[in-house]
Chains A and B, each alone.
Chain A
Amino acid sequence: MNIDYSREVPVVEGRLSLAQIEELVAKPLESKPDKKYYIALTISGSALMLGAICLAFSFYYGLGLWGNNQPIGWAYDIVNFVFWIGIGHAGTLISAILFLLRQKWRTGIARFSEAMTIFAVICAGLFPAIHTGRPWLDGYLLPYPNQHSLWVNFTSPLLWDVFAVSTYFTVSLVFWYIGLIPDFATLRDRTDSKLKKTIYSIFSLGWRHSSRHWQHYEKAYMLLAGFATPLVLSVHTIVSFDFAVSILPGWHTTIFPPYFVAGAIFSGFAMVVTVLVVVRKVFNLENIITMDHLDKMNKVILATGMMVGYAYAMEFFIAWYSGVQVEQFAFLNRAFGPYAWAYWIMVSCNVIFPQLFWFRKFRRSIPVMMIIVILVNVGMWFERFVITVTSLHRDFLPSSWAYYTPTLYDIGILIGSFGLFFTLVILFTKTLPVVSISEVKAVAEGAQPSHIGGIVNA
């Protein structure tokens, strides 16, 4: 294997011109959707409908339709919440952290993963809202002056969640929209259709690609990236506080915040790879979302997967080292109790299979990576299941021990959340540019002045 390290590998392959890049990205928006698109939309839409029906039943008859009952008060609802919010973290990591680290390769995948962040947070936000049982009363979660002169409990991690998730959603949405403004302007100047022009004009706000604007724009982008970076770390930290601040053995663990953040990035990257592999193929974006991109993302998956594996091991070590009997029981019960099957699915999917990514050949093989990232998605869902359910199902009073089994409604709502996510993703691919046109143009070969600043050339 001979790699020339003396020269920077181009981010965009195939020596595409600026106009070609634009053509490639704008094409799905300017062509009518084909049959495959409608088939995909039908499948995801059906899943979404299934979830909606299960939810309607849950609200009409009450949450007794779900499987959670004492002592397992938190089950699918919270598992799915943590799972989806974790998926969202990859997008912000790619768009903000890699931006601050000057990783040029992020430009090709940033838009898509940011969109996935927003859709995942929508799915995530759904679950705490329905978990309350009467979601139309969820306004009480916000501090507002009321006739009871009561306030929300600002010292509760559950309230921190409300603030963290809503801030995360708002900031991600704003970040995403800011990135879209120049692309809306480009699309506006491309189209001949009057209706499209009006819509793009409204969303582009009248952007003129002016350098006097680019200057503030770049500043704002950097400031937002600077905020989004600690924000994304804080969100999953706070989600982990929902567990860690309680005093339940198996939850009361100081390693939770970094462990959750690593797990979030792990699962998020897995989901991004899952979807991007399909998207680059369907929309012929192989030159913009290159094999190098997938390779790098697989490296991140390998690294974060091992961090998660370290956390699994460390939890057991601390349980033994603490000398606390209930803590030791909680972890032995996790690995060898009634939910051992879930635990070992988690360990094999998250720690063992990703080890294949040590090999360059596997990192660059579409079928292998597809299998591994789907396994990682499964494993990370089970991680949240294991943390939530196994810690609860055998509490301090053996007479109340129970075994949790989800009902059809639980499973229907989970499928519905995937339906919601993929419906939004599918609609997104045909309505908005899935790759940031202006950012990819800026990293194309020859797009920037030569090092002598163009003075000599002119």
Chain B
Amino acid sequence: MSLYLVTSGTGFDGYSQGDTFETVLEPEREARALRRGSVQLLERSTPALQPGSYRLPSQHEGGKK
């Protein structure tokens, strides 16, 4: 999932210039949009588990039965 800013007056995917939107674009489509100046990539988020945000079964209270 990535966050984009629409930078072109011709918009992108129904969004107007100045809008931001979050989506997954196919790599080729994203490359075209970036090259022609339709959008600017603001943030690329890679799904990941943050340290401490999870526990493995053996660590889980009541995990043993």
- The answer to whether A and B interact is no
